[in-house]
Amino acid sequence: MKITLTLALLVATVAIHAQQLVPILDPLIPVTPTNTNGSTRPRITLVNDTIPLVTWTKTGSGNGIIYSSRWNGTAFDPAVQVTPSGLNVYCSGDEGGDVAARGDTAFIVFFTTDSRTFSVRSVDGGMTWQDTVRIDHQAPGDMSYTPDVQILRGGNPVIVFEQSDMTMTLTRMKVCRSSDGGQTYSMETDAHLGVTGIPCECCPPALLVNDSMVYVFYRNNDNNLRNIVMTVSSDSGNTFPVISEFDQSNWTISACPTAGAEAMFYQDSILATWKSANKIYYGCGHAVNGGESPHALLEPSLASTVVQKQPSVCGSGDTVVYTWSDRRTANYDVYVAISGSGPMQIATPSLFNDTTGTSENGTQQNPHAVYANGKVHLVYQDLVTGIVIYRVATVGGGVSVPELEPAEVVNIYPVPATETFSYSSASTETATVQVFSVTGALVASYTNVRSGQVLNCSALLPGTYTVLVTDAQGNESSSKLIKH
């Protein structure tokens, strides 16, 4: 693939102290008591950042129907039918609808078996749902499918979806927006221009938004080389001039693997996770210029025979939560791994479906999670009972992973810094000062600096950084910069 962005990314020689957090798992809770309403591809979001709202699709004979259920404090409310029975929703284990919430406003997006995309809105936190609204403006003979949704401040949704001709040989990645709370949607704009190749024909895309910044993640198909691409817009999704390919796993496969990426904001970076050649990777790209840090395997020591799939990622602050399903035993199970120090290679995943009883001695997959206030809210599909399972994991005590640090330490002040910072040391010589994000990306550099000199850090996003000071003799010292 041709990358249109010239990268000059250095990886810090200073390793960041890492901590794997052990999840404390609450009991399993069924979202519905029976399999009457189905369970395919459950998704979860939080209303007002506190109340779990779960959606899923009933598939099989008859029309596909989306249902939702909201936590009432002690159990989940009875399932609510979201889509009308005459609208046949398409859903499988790897493709289907998605949900997002901001405050009391929630949106579900989905596509039908005749490849049209729709949204439906709730303004009471998922207790009731309004009429469906058509998203796409496709030409006759085209198809649109696999939408994802995010909500801007003020309640307006942004949608990404894939569009193709009927042969699925001319695929495009499309973004559209609403300025009236989801009642109507703008004409689609292209999010894939400038990338050599075409979007993979049925791998679901993912979306992140932050004010005027829009980030689209999709699997590209460049003559069967199918790496994950991030394209970045700074004008609310009208153009996507920045292209980043932090997936360099170079998975070559002649058929669509139906496996997309999931992503989250992490300080000054975008953290994504994806499947490539039956293993799960993660990697970071800069939130403004797209610059990539090297990707890594989530579990580098895992046996080559183990098949992993359906990864997702969420978190806040320095907490990062990965979920996925794999078959390291006789059946597919669902796993969670939590880091308290940002992205890292996870060595100790935790099984979060129950294997002690007969009810779940079988296949569990399609995990999804959200994180808030020290708790991970998990859902997955139990293919044995045919219901959706919910579970809370509290972020508990950690297992520290010691890593090398430079012997000398300098003091950084003020704490926290806002617009400027300085360092203090006994040396009066000039030095080079480098600032690294917790992902190892070099985000700022200053030369010919002396102790006490004021340095501008106004361009840095709020977060924690490592400051590396190197004198003329090559001696290194480091400390932490906290930016507000």
Q: What is the DSSP letter of 293?
A: P
Q: CA–CA separation, 444 vs 38, rounded Å?
A: 51
The helix/strand/coil state of 34 is: coil
418: domain CATH number is 2.60.40.1930
Q: In terms of domains, do 187 and 272 share one?
A: yes
What's the structural domain count of the chain? 2
pLDDT at 115 (0 to 100)? 94
3 located within any domain: no
- The CA dihedral of 444, 450, 451, 454, to the nearest 10 degrees, is -50
Q: In terms of domains, do 375 and 423 share one?
A: no
Q: In terms of domains, do 48 and 113 share one?
A: yes
Q: In terms of domains, do 358 and 464 share one?
A: no
Q: CA–CA separation, 370 vs 392, rounded Å?
A: 10
Q: In terms of domains, do 274 and 178 share one?
A: yes
- Contact yes or no for 375/396 (Cβ under 8 A): no
Antiparallel, parallel or unpaired: β 157-165 and 228-233: unpaired
352 located within any domain: yes
Beta bridge partners of 292: 285
pLDDT at 79 (0 to 100)? 97
Q: In terms of domains, do 375 and 428 share one?
A: no
Q: What is the residue type of 64?
A: G
Angle ∠(43,152,311) on CA atoms, nearest 5: 30
472 located within any domain: yes
74 located within any domain: yes
Q: Where are the beta strands (DSSP E) in 245-295?
A: 261-266, 269-276, 279-286
Task: Tell me which residue range forms the domain holding 436.
Answer: 408-483
What are the pLDDT digits (tens) for 105-146?
Answer: 999 999 999 999 999 999 999 999 999 999 999 888 899 999
387 located within any domain: yes
Q: In terms of domains, do 176 and 104 share one?
A: yes
Q: Give the domain-ending residue among 372, 400, 428.
A: 400
Q: Where are the beta strands (DSSP E) in 211-278?
A: 213-221, 228-233, 242-244, 261-266, 269-276
Reported for 421-425, long-range contacts at CB under 8 A and 24+ positions apart, including other chains, are 421/454, 421/455, 421/457, 421/467, 421/481, 422/451, 422/452, 422/453, 422/454, 422/455, 423/449, 423/451, 423/452, 423/467, 423/469, 423/479, 424/451, 424/452, 425/451, 425/469, 425/477
* Whether this model's pTM surpasses 0.85: no
Q: Give the domain-ending residue among 400, 423, 457.
A: 400
38 located within any domain: yes
Q: What is the pLDDT along the chain (484 residues), one digit of tens a residue?
A: 333 332 233 333 333 345 667 888 999 999 999 999 999 999 999 999 999 999 999 997 667 999 999 999 999 999 999 999 889 999 999 999 899 999 999 999 999 999 999 999 999 999 999 999 999 998 888 999 999 999 998 899 999 999 999 988 899 999 999 999 999 999 999 999 999 999 999 999 999 999 889 999 999 999 999 999 999 999 999 999 999 988 989 999 999 999 999 999 988 889 999 999 999 999 998 888 888 878 899 998 899 999 999 999 999 888 899 999 999 888 899 999 998 888 876 768 888 987 665 555 678 999 999 999 899 999 999 998 999 999 999 987 554 443 334 345 678 989 889 899 999 887 788 999 998 876 566 889 999 999 999 999 998 887 778 888 888 777 778 788 888 8
Beta bridge partners of 206: 217
Q: In terms of domains, do 65 and 173 share one?
A: yes
Q: Which two tokens stand for residue 361?
A: 């001695």
5 located within any domain: no
pLDDT at 260 (0 to 100)? 95
145 located within any domain: yes
Q: Give the domain-ending residue among 400, 431, 446.
A: 400
Q: In terms of domains, do 203 and 229 share one?
A: yes
Q: Which two tokens stand for residue 34?
A: 């029976």
440 C-beta neighbours (distance < 10 Å), count: 21
- Contact yes or no for 97/70 (Cβ under 8 A): no
Nearest to 391 by CA among 22, 24, 28: 28
Q: In terms of domains, do 357 and 429 share one?
A: no
341: domain CATH number is 2.120.10.10
Rg (CA), the chain: 23
Q: CA–CA separation, 268 vs 370, rounded Å?
A: 20
Q: In terms of domains, do 77 and 120 share one?
A: yes
81 C-beta neighbours (distance < 10 Å), count: 13
Q: In terms of domains, do 447 and 318 share one?
A: no
